[in-house]
Amino acid sequence: MENNTHAETRLDVIDWGRTNYEAAFASQKVLVDKRRNGEASDTLIFTEHEPVYTLGQRKGAEEHLIWDEATCATKGISVVRSNRGGDITYHGPGQIVGYPIVSLDMHRDLHAYLRSLEAVVINTLANFGLCADRREGKTGIWLGERKICAIGVAVRTWVTYHGFALNVNPDMSHFSGIVPCGITDGTVTSMALELGQSIDTDAVKSSLAVEFQKLFPNTPHTHG
């Protein structure tokens, strides 16, 4: 007999602080299983990773690693293959990474989920005076031809994981070791660069959480 769990869920917001990418990935998978089994609510995780280049599932992503692994090691940057969508990207301190562990079971539309996730970041940046948008044929969030946020998601049994990486105050020199997200007709930027000052990451996290809740309201989810 199929045993379905049907319950009102709330959004939990958790800040993991500074984490190792692979350890955070393992923790995400645990939460995905708990969400799928009805043992956890929808969750928005914030973290800042130790410096790492992650290779997504896009074909040829490894060709966009400019520095060899020995050079990366001398700079304290690890290289990890990920199962998220997309190309190669950088994560490091000063960059807010958001991992939504959210059930799409009642609304099985990954395209709509991605558009909503993009809107969360766009609306947050607007709160800080930055007019960002999508870019035709490109992933992520842009200010003209300057990419400020990378997005790469995965879904398992209609529960999301991975998410977005918003450049707030990262060490931008670390982007020199890759062709970020395979971009050949643009650059990368940060909130600090665009606004000419250091930005309070806690304030950005608070805004992201508010905007996320607006677009992902608490609704019943069913999992079997």
Distance CA 90, CA 77 (A): 9
Can you tell me the distance from the alpha carbon of 206 to that of 151, in angstroms, rounded to the nearest whole number?
19
Other Cβ atoms less than 10 A from the Cβ of 133: the count is 12
Token readout for 128 is 């800080």
Residue 6's φ and ψ, nearest 5 degrees, are: -125, 115
Q: Match 């995780």 to its residue by tokens.
A: 45
Query: Could you confirm whether 181 is annotated as catalytic?
Result: yes
Residues 9/219, Cβ–Cβ less than 8 Å: yes
Per-position b or e across 8-25, b if 16+ CB within 10 A of its CB: ebebebeeeeebebeebb
H/E segment holding residue 163: strand 159-167
Q: What's the CA gap between 144 and 147, in Å, rounded?
A: 8
Confirm if 96 and 165 have CB atoms less than 8 A apart: yes
Q: H helices then E strands: how many in the chain?
A: 5, 12
DSSP state string for 184-217: SS-EE--HHHHHTS---HHHHHHHHHHHHHHHS-
Hey, which residues are catalytic here? 181
